[in-house]
Amino acid sequence: MLSRPSTLALLLLALAMAGFALTLVDAALPREQRKAEVEATRALVGQLGLTDLALFTEARYTRHPSQADLHSAFQDHPLALEHFPTGSLLPPPRHEAVDREATLPD
Amino acid sequence: MKQWIEKQRYLIDFTLASLARRKTRNLGLLGVYTLLVFVLASVALYTHALRVEAAKVLAASPEVILQRLVAGRHDLIPPGYLEKVGRIRGVQKREGRLWGYYYDAVVKANYTFMVPNDGTMAVKRGEIIVGPALERSRGLAAGNGISFRSYSGKLHTFIVEAVLPQASELVSADLVLMHEEDFRAFFDYPAGHYTDIALSVANPQEVRNVALKLAAALPDSRPILRDEVLRTYASIFDWREGIVLALLSAAILAFGILAWEKASGLSADEKREIGILKAIGWETGDVIKMKFWEGLLISLTAFLVGFVAAYVHVFYFAAELFEPVLKGWAVLYPRFQLTPHVDGLQVATLFFFTVFPYAAAVLVPIWKAAITDPDAVMRG
Q: What pLDDT, on a 0 to 100 scale, did the predictor assign at position B164?
A: 92
User: Of A36-45, B214-223, B357-366, where does the model show the most confidence?
Assistant: A36-45
Best residue in A66, A77, A82, A95 to probe B by mutation, most B CBs within 10 Å? Answer: A66
Q: In chain A, positions 24-83, which contact chain B (CB-CB < 8 Å)? A: 24, 26-27, 31, 34-35, 37-38, 40-60, 62-63, 65-72, 75
Q: How far apart are the first and last CA of chain B?
A: 37
Tabulate helix, strand, coil % of chain B (nearest 5): 60, 15, 25
Q: Is the pLDDT of residue B238 over 60?
A: yes
Name the nearest CA neighbour of B310 among B328, B322, B299. Answer: B322
Q: Are B221 and B199 in contact (CB under 8 A)?
A: no
Residues in a beta bridge with B155 = B149
Q: Is the CB of B236 inside 8 Å of chain A's CB atoms?
A: yes
Residues of A within 8 A of B340 (CB-CB) are 23, 26-27
Rounded alpha-carbon distances, angstroms, from residue A60 to A9, A52, A69, B52, B169: 55, 11, 10, 24, 18
| B379 or A82, higher pLDDT | B379
Report CB contact under 8 Å: A85, B53.
Answer: no
Q: What is the mean pLDDT of residues A66-91?
A: 64
Q: Is the pLDDT of residue B35 over 80?
A: yes
Q: What pLDDT, on a 0 to 100 scale, did the predictor assign at position B328?
A: 60
pLDDT-based confidence at residue B97 (cuts at 50, 70, 90): very high
Q: What pLDDT, on a 0 to 100 scale, did the predictor assign at position A100?
A: 47
C-alpha A70: how far from its chain's center?
21
Q: In chain B, positions 100-159, which contact chain A (CB-CB < 8 Å)? A: 101, 109-112, 114, 116-118, 120-121, 131, 133
Q: What is the mean pLDDT of residues A59-78?
A: 72
pLDDT-based confidence at residue A86 (cuts at 50, 70, 90): low
| Average model confidence (pLDDT) across chain B | 86
Q: Does domain B64-225 have CATH number 2.40.40.20?
A: yes
Closest Cα in chain A, distance from residue B256 (Å) = 23
**Residue partners of B120: CB distance under 8 A and separation at least 6:** A47
Q: Is the pLDDT of residue B34 over 90?
A: yes
Q: What pLDDT, on a 0 to 100 scale, did the predictor assign at position B228?
A: 87
Q: How far apart are CA B79 and CA B4, in angstroms?
A: 84
pLDDT in tens, B148-200: 998 888 999 999 999 999 989 989 999 999 999 999 999 999 989 999 999 98
Q: What is the mean pLDDT of residues B24-28?
A: 87
Q: What are the residue boundaries of the structural domains of chain B, listed by start? A: 2-58+232-379, 64-225
Q: How far apart are CA B251 and CA B258, in angstroms?
A: 10
Backbone angles phi, psi at B269, to 5 degrees: -60, -50
Q: How far apart are CA A101 and CA A105, in angstroms?
A: 13
Among chain B residues, CA nearest to A38: B57
Q: Is the pLDDT of residue B28 over 60?
A: yes
Q: How far apart are CA B133 and CA B332, in angstroms?
A: 6
Q: Coil, strand, or helix at residue B138?
A: coil
pLDDT in tens, B324-352: 665 566 677 788 888 898 988 989 988 98
Q: Is the pLDDT of residue A74 over 90?
A: no
B73-75 and B221-225 strand pairing: unpaired
Name the nearest CA neighbour of B62 among B289, B297, B271, B229. Answer: B229
Name the nearest CA neighbour of B49 among B57, B38, B60. Answer: B57
Report CB contact under 8 Å: A89, B116.
Answer: no
| B337 or A87, higher pLDDT | B337
Q: Is the pLDDT of residue B353 over 50?
A: yes
pLDDT in tens, B302-329: 999 999 999 999 999 888 887 766 556 6
B50: which DSSP letter? H
| DSSP states along B154-184 | -EEEEEEEEE--GGGHHHHTTEEEE-HHHHH
Report CB contact under 8 Å: A55, B57.
Answer: no
Q: What are the residue boundaries of the structural domains of chain A, listed by start? A: 52-93
Q: Is the pLDDT of residue B122 over 50?
A: yes
Flag the least confident range among A71-75, B11-15, B62-66, B288-292: A71-75
Q: What pLDDT, on a 0 to 100 scale, did the predictor assign at position B56?
A: 92
Best residue in A23, A31, A75, A90 to probe B by mutation, most B CBs within 10 Å? Answer: A23
Q: What is the mean pLDDT of residues A98-105?
A: 48
Q: How far apart are CA B375 and CA B179, in angstroms?
A: 90
C-alpha A92: how far from its chain's center?
16
Residue A36: exposure state from Cβ atoms within 10 A (0-12, 13-18, ≥19): exposed
Residue A12: exposure state from Cβ atoms within 10 A (0-12, 13-18, ≥19): middle
Helix axes B23-58, B2-21, angle to 10 degrees: 110
Name the nearest CA neighbour of A106 among B64, B210, B223. Answer: B210
Q: Is the pLDDT of residue B128 over 80?
A: yes
Question: Closest partner residue to B308 among A19, A27, A59, by Cβ?
Answer: A19
Q: What pLDDT, on a 0 to 100 scale, did the predictor assign at position A59?
A: 79
Q: Is the pLDDT of residue A67 over 90?
A: no
Report CB contact under 8 Å: A54, B112.
Answer: yes
